A = this chain, B = another copy of it.
Amino acid sequence: MSLKLGVIGTGAIGQDHIRRCSQTLLNSQVVAVTDINLEQAAKVVADLQIAAEVYPHGHALINSPQVEAVLVTSWGPSHEEFVLAAIAAGKPVFCEKPLAVTADGCRKIVEAELAHGKRLVQVGFMRPYDEGYRALKRVIDSGQIGEPLMLHCAHRNPRVGENYKTDMAITDTLIHELDVLRWLLNDDYVSVQVVFPRKTSKALAHLRDPQIVLLETAKGTRIDVEVFVNCQYGYDIQCEVVGETGIARLPEPSQVQLRSEAKLSNAILMDWKDRFIGAYDVELQAFIDGVRVGQVGGPSAWDGYAAAVAADACIEAQGSGQIVKIGLAPRPHFYD
């Protein structure tokens, strides 16, 4: 039997997930949608030709007996409210990042889930579902390179628009590394420092770009992440793990090798949407499969909370130029 999903928020990412659940994934169907703009919600249902009811608001959708699990893809500031409502209704909920716009908000969700006594929440961090990161984790976990000591990472975009502000380098860009590197290392961050190199002339006046974020983990591993969102040449994600006996590097996306015009070359992607497109499918299928067998997995509310705490510290470090502690509460055994 297909899992009956309700989707709150029918913007770009919501539409993507609705189409994914309706056309690409196994054992799922979207039976309910809602949006702050109900006309648009109705239009999405019509355009995608799905048999889904349009609900007047998120709470009605969550509490509908038709809906077995909820996807929250609405405006970030509304996530906390809907996730808490889903937990209150005892329904599994997949929430796009951020889980909540504040660490406190995330904490409340963690506590609600703890009180419920069983995992209901999966946060929409897709990189742990990327085949490249998974292969990298297998190498680390195999012991082939010994204990990880340092990570050298980069997150580069060709360019960003006017509404991209300096702190979005953390909340919109680095946030993916904040999540995936904890998972990759099975470790937590304890401090962060941000340094600002010479600014690229390609960035708009209000934006400090590039930035280098220096993280330290509980085990002492040091991570440097270059965030460079006007690098011009491509959307490029790099992750190199330096271990005691060797170094492992995230695979480049597979490409045809060309000899042409005095160059031996492989294409670099320009659009971020192409980079992790497969991971979105795997991530959401995992949620669906998890719900169907009664075991929600993947990035947890705790992971969402940890990313939020780290992000707050990063933003403080952007402002102060100092080394900022990252003080995570002790992890409840529930999330082990």
A2 to B246, CA, bound (A): 48
Nearest-CB residue, chain B, relative to A260: B246
CB-based nearest B residue for A266: B264
Chain B residues lying within 8 Å of A64, measured Cβ to Cβ, are none
Establish whether residues A233 and B260, one from each chain, have CB atoms under 8 Å apart when the complex forms.
yes
Please give the number of chain A residues whose Cβ is less than 8 angstroms from any Cβ of chain B in the complex.
68
Q: Which residues of B contact A135 (CB under 8 A)?
A: 254-256
Given contacts A195-B222, A212-B150, A268-B264, contact A200 B244 (CB under 8 A): yes
Q: How far is the CA of A151 from the CA of B38 in the complex (A)?
A: 50
List residues of A (102-152) whose CB comes within 8 Å of B's CBs.
131-132, 135-136, 138-139, 144-147, 149-150, 152
Given contacts A210-B149, A226-B152, A254-B132, contact A221 B198 (CB under 8 A): yes
From known contacts A252-B264, A264-B268, infer whether A200 and B149 are also in contact, taking CB-CB under 8 Å: yes
Which partner residue on chain B sits nearest A221 by CB separation?
B198
Which chain B residues lie closer than 8 Å to A210 at the CB level? 149-150, 242
* A152 / chain B contacts, CB cutoff of 8 Å: 152, 224, 226
Q: Write the nearest CB–CB distance from A278 to chain B, whole angstroms.
A: 10
**In the bound complex, do residue B262 and residue A242 qualify as a contact, i.e. CB atoms below 8 Å apart?**
no
* Given pairs A138-B256, A144-B258, A236-B259, 4 additional interface contacts (CB within 8 A): A135-B255, A226-B242, A248-B257, A264-B265
24 contacts between A and B (CB under 8 A): A131-B254, A144-B258, A144-B260, A146-B200, A146-B202, A147-B198, A147-B201, A150-B197, A150-B210, A195-B216, A202-B244, A210-B242, A226-B242, A233-B259, A234-B262, A246-B259, A249-B258, A249-B259, A251-B254, A251-B256, A251-B257, A253-B254, A262-B269, A263-B266
